[in-house]
């Protein structure tokens, strides 16, 4: 299948690496490691050498979304298909070496970051297993479902939605069209990739100061959500949204402010889509309970 398998990694440019290091390791439960190349920090969630790369700089925003395809032939077929749909997809062997992958192509997103599509990631040996200082359960849900999901803000959905659907070839999961307060509307589109995490990318168009609204990571054990919630509150880190539950992906989660200002959704219980039996619907609520806003909107 010439399709993106899953969202395998993201790269953020961050201005305060030291704060990110303790936030990632001591609060959320990532393992912090040295990147395969270059400066910054690698955040591990499993046997992959990294799932999040933190690169030093001033932007405090997303730079890259890295999508895995499991075989070289499928990667080549994806590139052919994306190009025939009008995508400017370019191979970058130098960047492939930096990322520690076999082959890598790049494609610019209309919202100001870059997609990297690759096969052949670097896995660390059994002698260097993922370890977390703080997680009590079996760890993060990753594997074939990828690292989680991202919500980049669309400058113009008329451009973004066809880009995600036709160039990246993502499938629509569902929509949420809700009125959060009188006159304050949300219109979000959720996309999944081949392995079926409910969404690997969602987007909507609203005024925002950053490209990335949030990144989501998922624990296997819902108790880890509660334990992380307690660590956030003990460390006085600002919450963005209180605990709650989304009606579409069934995620039980809260949203915490990262040291870069965008949010990290920390959840458990998200569903996996079986395309054979999936029906695209529109929900009228962002959350069926909770997710009360704590930090005022920056728009
Ligand atoms: Fe989310």
pLDDT tens track for 29-65: 999 999 999 999 999 999 999 999 999 999 999 999 9
d(CA 197, ligand 1 centre) in Å:
12
In-domain check, residue 130: no
Cα(146) to centroid(ligand 1), Å: 14
pLDDT of residue 140: 98
pLDDT for 299 equals: 44
Measure the CA–CA gap between 90 and 93, rounded to whole angstroms: 10
User: Strand 289-290 and strand 6-14: pairing?
Assistant: unpaired
Separation of 3 CA from ligand 1 center, angstroms?
22
Answer whether residue 216 is part of any domain: yes
Residues 224 and 104 in one domain: no
Task: Kindly state whether residue 22 falls inside one of the protein's structural domains.
Answer: yes
Give the pLDDT band of residue 298 (cuts 50, 70, 90). low
pLDDT tens, residue by residue, 187-204: 999 999 999 999 999 999
- Compute the distance from residue 214 Cα to the ligand 1 centre, in Å: 7
Inter-residue long-range contacts of 30-36, CB under 8 Å, 24+ positions, other chains counted: 30/132, 31/130, 31/131, 31/132, 36/98, 36/99, 36/100, 36/122
pLDDT bracket for residue 297 (50, 70, 90): low
**Domain co-membership, 95 together with 159:** no
> Are residue 32 and residue 103 in the same domain, yes or no?
yes
Residue 92 Cα to ligand 1 middle (Å): 30
Q: How confident is the model at residue 4 (pLDDT cuts 50, 70, 90)?
A: very high
Q: Residues 283, 183: one domain? A: yes
In which band, very low, low, confident or very high, does the pLDDT at 180 lie, cut at 50, 70 and 90? Answer: confident
Q: Is the Cα torsion angle 274, 275, 277, 280 positive or negative in sign?
A: positive
Q: What spacing in Å lies between the alpha carbon of 265 and ligand 1's midpoint?
A: 6
Distance 38 CA to ligand 1 centre (A): 29
CATH number of the domain where residue 277 is located:
3.10.180.10
Cα of 250 vs centre of ligand 1, distance in Å, is 11
In 3D space, the residue among 271, 272, 267 whose CA is nearest the CA of residue 222 turns out to be 267
Domain boundary among 85, 119, 153: 119
**Is the same domain home to 277 and 165?**
yes
| 111 and 31 part of one domain | yes
Mean pLDDT of 104-126: 97
Does one domain contain both 33 and 162?
no
88 contacts 110 by C-beta, under 8 angstroms: no
Tell me, in angstroms, the distance from the centre of ligand 1 to residue 266's CA.
Answer: 9
Q: Which of 18, 35, 7 is nearest to 144 (CA)?
A: 7
Does residue 111 sit in the same domain as residue 221? no
Distance 278 CA to ligand 1 centre (A): 20
Percent of the chain with pLDDT strictly greater than 70: 99
The reply to whether 199 falls in a domain is yes
Query: What's the chain's average pLDDT?
Result: 96
The count of structural domains within the chain is: 2
The last residue of one of the domains, among 84, 119, 154, is 119
Please tell me the distance between residue 253's alpha carbon and the centre of ligand 1 in angstroms.
9
Average pLDDT over residues 71-75: 98
Q: Which domain holds residue 200?
A: 143-290
Residue 1 is predicted with a pLDDT of 67
Task: Provide the pLDDT confidence category of residue 185 given band limits of 50, 70 and 90.
Answer: confident
Q: How far is the CA of 153 from the centre of ligand 1 (A)?
A: 12
In this structure, the answer to whether residues 151 and 227 fall within a common structural domain is yes
- If you measure from the C-alpha of residue 268 to the centroid of ligand 1, how many angstroms do you get, rounded to a whole number? 11
Distance 73 CA to ligand 1 centre (A): 32
Q: Are 64 and 114 in contact (CB under 8 A)?
A: yes
Which tens digit of pLDDT belongs to each residue from 249-266? 999 999 999 999 999 999
273 and 157, same structural domain?
yes
In this model, does residue 183 exceed pLDDT 90?
no
Instruction: Clarify whether residues 114 and 149 are in a common domain.
Output: no
- Provide, rounded to the nearest whole percent, the portion of the chain with pLDDT above 90: 95
- 149 CA distance to ligand 1 centroid (A)? 7
Q: Is pLDDT of 281 > 60?
A: yes
């Amino acid at each position: 299948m010439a399709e993106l398998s899953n969202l395998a990694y993201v790269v953020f440019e961050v201005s305060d690496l030291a704060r990110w290091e303790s936030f990632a390791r001591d609060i959320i439960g990532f393992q912090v490691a040295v990147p395969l190349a270059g400066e910054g920090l690698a955040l591990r969630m499993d046997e992959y050498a990294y799932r999040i790369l933190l690169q030093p700089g001033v932007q405090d925003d997303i730079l890259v979304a890295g999508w895995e395809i499991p075989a070289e032939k499928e990667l080549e077929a994806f590139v052919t298909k994306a190009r025939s749909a009008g995508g400017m997809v370019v191979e970058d062997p130098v960047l492939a070496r930096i990322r520690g992958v076999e082959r890598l192509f790049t494609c610019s997103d209309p919202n100001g970051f870059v997609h990297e599509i690759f096969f052949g990631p670097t896995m660390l040996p059994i002698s260097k297993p993922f370890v977390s200082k703080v997680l009590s359960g079996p760890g993060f849900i990753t594997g074939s479902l990828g690292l989680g999901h991202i919500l980049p803000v669309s400058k113009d959905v008329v451009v973004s939605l066809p880009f995600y659907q036709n160039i990246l070839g993502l499938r629509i999961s569902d929509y949420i069209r809700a009125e959060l307060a009188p006159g304050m509307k949300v219109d979000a589109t959720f996309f999944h990739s081949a392995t079926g995490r409910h969404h690997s990318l969602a987007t909507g168009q609203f005024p925002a100061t950053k490209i990335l609204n949030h990144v989501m990571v998922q624990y296997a054990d819902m108790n880890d959500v509660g334990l992380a919630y307690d660590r956030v509150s003990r460390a006085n880190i600002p919450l963005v949204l209180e605990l709650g539950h989304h009606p579409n992906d069934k995620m039980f989660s809260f949203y915490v402010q990262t040291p870069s200002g965008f949010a990290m959704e920390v959840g458990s219980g998200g569903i996996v889509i079986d395309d054979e039996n999936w029906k695209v619907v529109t929900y009228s609520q962002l959350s069926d309970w909770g997710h009360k806003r704590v930090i005022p909107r920056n728009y």
